[in-house]
A and B are shown apart, each in its own frame.
Chain A
């Protein structure tokens, strides 16, 4: 039997008109998801989709990812002393003011950091509830200084993966320290002859969709 015999044309046209007319009377297309529940957020935390490592962030900076927005949540005095290259300073107390939120467009991969990890993680939860997707830099600036700026060589019995990680950090450290310049003088443009570290793949995010 032909399909055209099952679906009569007049029936199809009538059905479409009824479905369309019902849509015209309905609030279809305007209904939005409610805020994330505490359970949704805890799933994201345990699923580790809430954070990036300092190594990933360093690779993105070195690679000049155009959509990277690094947010320094500390006070402006601390920001003046040292901050990640390219980071913008939005102290946590001002994060939820409209002009600050305007900067957090979803076209960016937003990375939050504070000194430890606590403030950044708290800001992450609050932003998540407002529907703004971001990542916490794991370990905060303390870990960044230890691991990226002053990496310690692994011991003699280290596994290959540890040695690789050290080599990456060493290369990144050359980049961020501007070739031997100490942390305090970091504000100079970063230049380095250190070997370019191998970059981990970037996380896929919204702005890259489409054909």
Chain B
């Protein structure tokens, strides 16, 4: 096994930053091409009229998941060396709810607001400015939230540990879930979409 390359010291920190930059540019470009720089299109998601966001994001998830698992099966990638964002249940639920409300109101999520700013959308600039202001305020009142930030800490929690199933089985269930949701999404688009 030779991946993740950084963990096996195939390149250093600085090279890692360059690679991250290139991946970030490709990611932003792809989001823009998928139409994610338009707050109108993104907001239509919440009126069940255009489910592109759900379809693109869930496609990305199952493609990446399947690819990672097959790379592991081929002894290329050691999954145990991949960085997982630790699960801290309560603050993440609260943060998710706040981000969701912000998404409905502002029409962007943090990533797509940067995509919109990159192509010069004024509402994107306002969104990014608001996000930075929010970060500043959070930083200033952080001691007040300090206990909350560690409540429900579960470490590197994964679905397969939680359900006590092999990762491959979980992956299959997630694929079934994605296909089911794609079907429901298209039904909803037919029912509520602009063009009948």
Determine if chain A interacts with chain B: yes
Choice from B9, B79, B160, B172 contacting A20 with Cβ under 8 Å: B172
Choice from B1, B8, B167, B179 contacting A28 with Cβ under 8 Å: B167
A27→B179 contact, CB < 8 A: no
Choice from A13, A20, A44, A204 contacting B13 with Cβ under 8 Å: A204
Total A-B Cβ pairs within 8 A: 87
B172→A26 contact, CB < 8 A: no
Which residues from A are CB-within-8-Å of B78? 31-33
B171→A32 contact, CB < 8 A: no
- Dominant SS at the A interface? loop
- Interface residues of chain A, those whose CB is within 8 Å of chain B, are 13, 16-17, 19-21, 23-34, 40, 43-44, 47, 49, 203-204, 206, 209-211
Which residues from A are CB-within-8-Å of B69? 23, 26, 28-29
B97 contacts the other chain (CB 8 A)? no
- Dominant SS at the B interface? helix
B70 contacts the other chain (CB 8 A)? yes
With known contacts A13-B179, A16-B62, A23-B171, A33–B81 Cβ distance under 8 A? yes
| Interface contacts beyond A29-B168, A49-B9, A203-B13: sample of 11 additional A-B pairs, CB < 8 Å, sorted by A | A20-B172, A20-B175, A23-B69, A23-B169, A25-B168, A26-B168, A27-B168, A29-B166, A30-B79, A31-B1, A209-B83
Which residues from B are CB-within-8-Å of A24? 166, 168-169, 171-172
With known contacts A13-B179, A20-B175, A44-B9, A29–B160 Cβ distance under 8 A? yes
Which residues from A are CB-within-8-Å of B166? 24, 27-30
